[in-house]
Amino acid sequence: MRGVNFPIQFLCACSALALSPQAGWAQSATEGVADEQGGEILVTANRRSESSQKVAASIAAVSGDALASMKIDNPGMLSSVVPGLNVNLPNGAGSPPIFTLRGISANDFSFSQSRPIALYEDDAIRASPVFEAIPFFDVQRVETLKGPQGALYGKNATGGAINIVSKAPGFDTEGYLTAGYGNYNERSAQGAVQTALVNDVLATRFAFTYQKNDGYVRNVFPGSNNSDQADVFGARLSFLLKPSSLFDATVRLSYNRSAGGNAGYYADVPDPSLTAGVSRAGLSFWENNNNRVASKLLENYGANLQLNVKLDHATITSITAVDRGEWLSTTDDDGLPISVAEVQSNARNGKSFSQELRVVTAFDGPFNVTAGGSYGSDSMKLDQNYMLLNSALLGAVDPFGFGTGGYGANYGSVFTQRRNGWAIFGRGEFKITPSLTATGGIRYSDDRVAIENFNSFISSNPGTGVPNLDTPTIVNENRKARYHNTSFEAGLQWAVANDVMTYASFKQGYRTGAFNAQAFFSPDEINAVQPETVNSYEVGLKSQLFGRRLTFNLAGFFVDYRHQQVLNVNPSTGLSTLANVNARIYGLEGEVRLKVVDGITVNTAFSWVDPRYRKGAELNGVLDANGTTIPGTGIAIGGNQMAGAARFNAQAGVDVDLAKTGYGTVRLQLDGAFASRIYFDAYQNNLVSTGPRWVQNARLSLESDHFTLAAYARNIFKEKYFVNGIDLRGLGFIQFVRGAPQTYGAEITYRF
């Protein structure tokens, strides 16, 4: 390969590839409150049911009906309805997302790492990416809590928390069935049915979802399948036991599967001399020429048990969750008809257990408290194999110094990760006056992380008459680490009037320390990093005016972000380790919802953030614009825009009842989302970024009591953009993942 300086530049490219993804709350059933009350969504952000307008924090709450009508069917699509939330999909459509909220995100996409935006389902945390592939179906609402949630939600919520609340069983017999068809030969179905097994004592609800299409990215290589394919199935069986008004138990048994063609990577080839002259010439934006079949299989299943005991002035709640899962992934990372970069990554035997016990008081006096404790553990076995430069067209290469006259450079690792931790927490609210309330909270966490039997190897394809060489580089290494954290929060909220409230708060967050999962060439790469911590200061206004026809909310915040965990490549050795860098974030966000007249509602929202790495922050060398390794000990990133974050986001939508007929109401819904430029690495490199975009969606429906007939379209104007990018110019290309194309279709729903 001409123009490549082995082995250092090659190892830097290998480490950059390791950055790529392939290498790696709930309402009590006893409360019986509706999801919406007077146009307000009830949420459990403070572990008690209350109007989102009464919570002294920035919350984006979206009802399940709204999600369904906008065809938002998985967490990776939430950025279109949550201001300030950006979603990175390094593994393509249907895979676990990397959330960026208020500028806080993760750049290590290993299958084993937790993320700084905690994802919950029915009050139980999804502990690792293998459990985050959750399709939206039969959902009551989704709550996005912005800013650190250290006191009540604990670790790995430094940027916020997202809680998916599924519909709980009820005693009335009811149900629905939706069937749809769309372009890309998409077939979909979703439904639910519930009934009482014992009147007013025992009820059950069953729900399911199914979605399958032919793939968004057409592969022109003979005999190969398309990429970015949906093959999704999910089912949930729930039971509610309510023997008295003082006790209830809800158990949910769930299964989720996402399979089909894996991410179809877009290879921007700035230097075809490194790829034997092969490029994307002749291909459209939505076409690939992959010589390798890429596939994925994500499966998780589990049980969630919620127990509620009502006392005179308190409710005791227990949440127990057990999950199992695996994630098997094969990818063609170069998107080209020759074997430049191919990866196989597997997270096997994923196990997770969590238990929380808490008490929430409801005294008539000025003081109430939420307090409790939690325990959690998870484990998985991770194996990953990188197969690079395995094409004879690329010529003989010997980056590892085997001296065999062969070609190709392959490396991989296998290890087991185990984590466990416990915490105790408390949060109190005290009414100083009828209109002024003070809040305070604290959480202590103790967490342990262990890496067991870490082994890695390097190999190359043999030359003539030379056997294949497979050389161990890391042998049976074991590591352990323990972390402690105490997080605080404090705040004041002032009810200026009945429907006008202002607040000020200070909150801390904590993401536990971690071991580097991208170690391949030396035991020195298996390093541990400090936990991430956040100090967040926020002021806000929440208001509903003119008889609640106008909702206006505004929040401003400053975030001191310490020890963000990033993958770091050393230009002198080519080795990668985890590192900590510091950042600061300013931001302003707001929303306006106006009911113009009955039948016409307008929604707008925006988020502006200025996320910058702090002065003095630096990472080790990377490739410059010409693909050459930059010499020296490090590159300053202080002042750069943080990776994964758009400085400006905006959403706008309108719902209009066009006509009322004898067959039902004709309704038009329009919604759109804007995001400014997003950089995919810390170096603020325009080559590894995606430009500003506006994605417009629409839905036209005829709705009656029992039937809904609807036509929909997403990304109407065929916006072309990326949702992930990795700098692999040491191998001859930059790897991107495309955002969703224009999709459209029709569906019919029957309710009974």
pLDDT bin (cut points 50, 70, 90) of residue 464 is low
Residue at 444: amino acid letter: Y
Res 620 pLDDT > 50: yes
pLDDT of res. 89: 87
pLDDT of res. 23: 37
Neighbours of 82 (CB within 10 A): 25
- pTM comes to 0.90
The strand ranges marked E within 246-366 are 247-261, 265-268, 287-288, 295-310, 314-332, 341-361
pLDDT of res. 436: 97
Strand partners, 18: none
Which run of H or E residues covers position 18?
helix 8-18
Neighbours of 38 (CB within 10 A): 9
Q: Pull the structure tokens for residue 65.
A: 């009906």
- On average, the pLDDT of the chain sits at 88
Q: How far is CA 443 from CA 446, 489, 490, in A?
A: 10, 9, 12
Q: Pull the structure tokens for residue 580.
A: 């900590």
CA atoms within 13 A on the CB side of 549: 8
Res 468 pLDDT > 70: no
Yes or no: say if 559 and 103 are a contact pair by the CB < 8 Å rule.
yes
Q: Please report, in angstroms and rounded to a whole number, the separation of the first and last CA atoms in the chain.
A: 66
pLDDT of res. 622: 46
For the segment 549-572, the average pLDDT, to the nearest whole number, is 87
Residues in the chain: 752
Q: How far is CA 377 from CA 94, 163, 512, in A?
A: 26, 20, 13
For the segment 378-382, the average pLDDT, to the nearest whole number, is 96
Q: Pull the structure tokens for residue 123.
A: 């009050």
Among 141, 212, 136, 208, CA closest to 175 = 208
307-311, 663-667, 730-734 — which is least confidently predicted?
A: 730-734
pLDDT bin (cut points 50, 70, 90) of residue 11 is low
The residue that leads in pLDDT, 631 or 82, is 82
Residue with the two structure tokens 């007939």 = 709
Round to whole Å and give the CA distance between 493 and 440: 12
Sort 200 into a burial class: Cβ within 10 Å, 0-12 / 13-18 / 19+.
Answer: exposed
Residues 6+ apart with CB under 8 A from 635: 618, 619, 620, 621, 622, 683
Cis peptide before 7 (omega within 30 of 0): yes
Yes or no: say if 197 and 203 are a contact pair by the CB < 8 Å rule.
yes
Res 545 pLDDT > 90: yes
Among 416, 414, 415, 413, CA closest to 458 = 413
Round to whole Å and give the CA distance between 415 and 110: 13
Phi, psi of 545 (to 5 degrees): -125, 165
pLDDT of res. 45: 79
Phi, psi of 705 (to 5 degrees): -65, -35
Res 685 pLDDT > 90: no
Res 186 pLDDT > 60: yes
pLDDT of res. 702: 97
Yes or no: say if 185 and 196 are a contact pair by the CB < 8 Å rule.
no
Res 649 pLDDT > 60: yes
Q: Pull the structure tokens for residue 20.
A: 């790529």
The residue that leads in pLDDT, 402 or 318, is 318
pLDDT of res. 225: 85
DSSP letter, residue 291: S
Residues 6+ apart with CB under 8 A from 541: 500, 501, 502, 552, 553, 554, 555
Round to whole Å and give the CA distance between 252 and 203: 12
pLDDT of res. 396: 73
Q: Pull the structure tokens for residue 399.
A: 């980056």
Res 236 pLDDT > 90: yes
Compute and round to an integer the Cα radius of gyration of the chain.
26
Residues 481-505: pLDDT tens digits?
A: 999 999 999 999 999 999 999 999 9
Sort 419 into a burial class: Cβ within 10 Å, 0-12 / 13-18 / 19+.
Answer: buried
The residue that leads in pLDDT, 96 or 377, is 377
Among 605, 710, 598, CA closest to 653 = 605
The residue that leads in pLDDT, 705 or 16, is 705
Residues 6+ apart with CB under 8 A from 741: 216, 286, 715, 718
pLDDT of res. 636: 83
Sort 221 into a burial class: Cβ within 10 Å, 0-12 / 13-18 / 19+.
Answer: middle
Res 219 pLDDT > 80: yes
Residue at 604: amino acid letter: T
Round to whole Å and give the CA distance between 752 and 740: 34
pLDDT of res. 3: 35
Res 678 pLDDT > 90: yes
> What domains are there in the chain, each with its CATH number?
8-751 (2.40.170.20)
216-230, 267-281, 436-450, 461-475 — which is least confidently predicted?
A: 461-475
Secondary structure tally for the chain: helices H, strands E:
2, 43
Round to whole Å and give the CA distance between 167 and 252: 10
Residues 381-424: pLDDT tens digits?
A: 999 999 888 887 887 777 777 666 667 788 999 999 999 999 99
Sort 217 into a burial class: Cβ within 10 Å, 0-12 / 13-18 / 19+.
Answer: buried
Strand partners, 103: none
Q: Pull the structure tokens for residue 143.
A: 């709550």
pLDDT of res. 5: 41
Among 512, 459, 398, CA closest to 156 = 512
pLDDT of res. 542: 96
Round to whole Å and give the CA distance between 689 and 708: 41
Residue with the two structure tokens 């005999």 = 223
pLDDT of res. 643: 93
The residue that leads in pLDDT, 579 or 9, is 579
pLDDT of res. 570: 60
**pLDDT > 90 fraction of the chain, expressed in percent and rounded:** 68
Yes or no: say if 227 and 217 are a contact pair by the CB < 8 Å rule.
yes
pLDDT bin (cut points 50, 70, 90) of residue 627 is very low
Round to whole Å and give the CA distance between 72 and 95: 14
Residue with the two structure tokens 């809590």 = 145
Which run of H or E residues covers position 669?
strand 664-675
Among 232, 222, 141, 136, CA closest to 188 = 232
> If DSSP states are collapsed to H, E and C, what string results for 41-90?
EEECCCCCCEEHHHCCCCEEEEEHHHHHHCCCCCHHHHHHCCCCEEEECC
For the segment 182-197, the average pLDDT, to the nearest whole number, is 97
